[in-house]
């Protein structure tokens, strides 16, 4: 069994319904049951449901949700946020008695989540295998647009609904795929509110530098940023790609410094934001605002960068401090406490979106009197409910339009909601202090 390949197959335990992490593998995605051995086989799911018997208990109808997640590889820091929130939400639903299906049956949820190792090709194979071999009818999305794109293709080819909480590229929703739904606003809107915040400051920026990873999500973020900057009269004086394996950004920051850019937008994932924060410090390049599209809002970003990560900004479609009622956890604040208690970190919008993915299926199952992939897909189109993530209702493209809020890492207090003013918990520290002033 390969130690690099993991499958998280969370099944019911007779004592408290919680699923246990099963480590399985091999070079491919097939042969999972044989690798696990003993009683650890993955249950087949006819039409997405199975009857399970645990000891002397009465057989229980079960609906299986399946998907891939970056549990290892470059994207694993954020991938684990999704996996944890998926798991915890399924647990809470089951602990509360399961899902009351519109067909009159009470179902418990099971979650099969396999490691795609941050590899789009592996993710596509996993989704195909889940449908073809395991009979999983209802699919939860992976993390990152680059990985969600092939997963969405596999879902469309199999005609299975996929609800994605970790993909935001416009490409996901521009290809006439009627089987994919997205909880995140599209990537081309990620920078808009942050730029508006900067322009509202007493000394607004006149120049900007854009560094961009060459993948669908970050290209869309950059494209939207360029449009917004142009609309407010800010000149883009540096506009450079970030290579896939780039660890050294010193050449890029020389350009930023030489051009005297006021604000820096690093369109990349968490490892890119960490590298940028470290090298911005080592090169002592001063900008008024350093920004990344969300991968820098996690506790692990702060742990890796220390004081070098102070004052960085990032957008979020979810304001964790704005409480809202939730049907599974009670409220957004209770969800936040549950994540902190269970996993020891503060949830971000990635966590909240993942919980909303599971709850979207929960509501769809409740609203249809016949559970099939097509009827559930149609129910998802019409679903409307309030949750810890806010209002969940998809537009005609399968997206939830949402304006971003802006967070900033501030010394001593950590991430602070700084914009818009009407929901902020602190003022933005703008411009960022120079390195000589810190």
Q: Are residues 79 and 147 in the same domain?
A: yes
Write down the pLDDT at residue 48. 52
User: Which band of pLDDT confidence, cut at 50, 70 and 90, is reported for residue 148?
Assistant: very high
In a domain, 431, yes or no: yes
Three-class SS state of 255: helix
In a domain, 367, yes or no: yes
CA neighbor of 290 nearest in space, from 299, 305, 303, 300:
305
Question: Around Cβ 46, how many Cβ atoms within 10 Å?
Answer: 11
How many folded domains does the chain comprise? 2
Q: From CA 13, how far away is CA 80, in angstroms rounded?
A: 22
Average pLDDT over residues 338-366: 97
Q: From CA 254, how far away is CA 354, in angstroms rounded?
A: 38
In a domain, 400, yes or no: no
Average pLDDT over residues 362-367: 98
Write down the pLDDT at residue 294. 87
pLDDT for residue 7 is more than 60: no
In a domain, 403, yes or no: no
Q: Are residues 42 and 59 in the same domain?
A: yes
Write down the pLDDT at residue 37. 30
Q: Which structural domain, as residue segments, surrounds residue 211?
A: 189-316+411-437
Average pLDDT over residues 270-279: 94
385-434 pLDDT, tens digit each: 999 999 999 999 999 999 999 999 999 999 999 999 999 999 999 999 99
93-136 pLDDT, tens digit each: 999 999 999 999 999 999 999 999 999 999 999 999 999 999 99
Q: Model-level pTM?
A: 0.85
Q: From CA 93, how far away is CA 10, in angstroms rounded?
A: 14
Q: Are residues 15 and 72 in the same domain?
A: yes
Q: From CA 215, how far away is CA 218, in angstroms rounded?
A: 6
Tell me the percentage of the chain whose pLDDT exceeds 90: 82
Three-class SS state of 403: coil
- Burial tier of 244 (Cβ tally within 10 Å: 0-12, 13-18, 19+): exposed
Q: Are residues 259 and 121 in the same domain?
A: no
Q: Are residues 304 and 427 in the same domain?
A: yes
In a domain, 402, yes or no: no
Question: Around Cβ 37, how many Cβ atoms within 10 Å?
Answer: 10
- CA 407, 410, 416, 418 dihedral sign is negative
pLDDT for residue 56 is more than 90: no
In a domain, 27, yes or no: yes
The strand pair at 162-164 and 138-140 is best described as parallel
CATH number at residue 249: 3.40.50.2300
pLDDT for residue 30 is more than 80: no
pLDDT for residue 18 is more than 60: no
């Amino acid at each position: 069994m390969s130690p690099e390949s993991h499958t998280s197959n969370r099944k019911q335990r007779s004592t408290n319904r919680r699923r246990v992490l099963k480590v399985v593998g091999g070079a491919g995605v097939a042969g999972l049951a044989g690798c696990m051995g003993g009683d650890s086989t993955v249950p087949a799911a006819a039409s997405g449901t199975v009857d399970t018997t645990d000891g002397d208990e009465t057989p229980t109808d079960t609906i299986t949700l399946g998907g891939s997640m970056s549990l290892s590889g470059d994207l694993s820091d954020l991938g684990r946020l999704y996996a944890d929130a998926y798991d915890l939400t399924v647990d809470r639903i089951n602990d509360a008695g399961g899902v009351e299906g519109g067909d009159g049956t009470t179902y418990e949820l099971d979650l099969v989540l396999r490691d795609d190792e941050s590899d789009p090709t592996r993710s596509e194979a996993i989704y195909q295998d889940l449908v073809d071999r395991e009979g999983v009818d209802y699919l939860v999305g992976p993390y990152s647009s680059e990985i969600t794109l092939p997963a969405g293709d596999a879902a469309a080819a199999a005609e299975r609904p996929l609800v994605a909480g970790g993909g935001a590229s416009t490409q996901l929703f521009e290809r006439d795929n009627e089987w994919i739904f997205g909880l995140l606003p599209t990537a081309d809107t990620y920078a808009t509110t942050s730029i508006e915040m900067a322009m509202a400051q007493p000394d607004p920026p006149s120049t900007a530098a854009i560094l961009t990873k060459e993948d669908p999500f970050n290209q869309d973020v950059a494209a939207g940023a360029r449009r917004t900057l142009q609309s407010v009269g800010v000149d883009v004086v540096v506009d450079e790609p970030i290579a896939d394996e780039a660890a050294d950004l010193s050449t890029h920051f020389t350009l930023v410094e030489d051009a005297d850019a006021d604000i820096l937008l690093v369109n990349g994932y968490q490892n890119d934001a960490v590298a940028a924060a470290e090298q911005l410090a080592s090169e002592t390049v001063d900008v008024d605002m350093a920004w990344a599209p969300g991968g820098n809002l996690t506790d692990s970003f702060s742990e890796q960068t220390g004081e070098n990560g102070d004052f960085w900004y990032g957008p979020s479609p979810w304001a964790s401090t704005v409480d809202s009622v939730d049907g599974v956890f009670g409220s957004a604040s209770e969800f936040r406490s549950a994540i902190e208690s269970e996993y020891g970190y503060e949830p971000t919008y990635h966590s909240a979106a993942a919980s909303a993915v599971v709850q979207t299926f929960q509501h769809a199952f409740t609203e249809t009197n016949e559970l099939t992939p097509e009827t559930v897909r149609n129910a998802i189109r019409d679903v409307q409910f309030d949750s810890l993530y806010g209002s969940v209702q998809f537009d005609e493209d399968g997206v939830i339009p949402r304006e971003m809020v802006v967070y900033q890492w501030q010394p001593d207090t950590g991430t602070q909601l700084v914009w818009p003013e009407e929901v902020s918990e602190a003022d933005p520290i703008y411009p960022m202090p120079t390195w000589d002033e810190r």
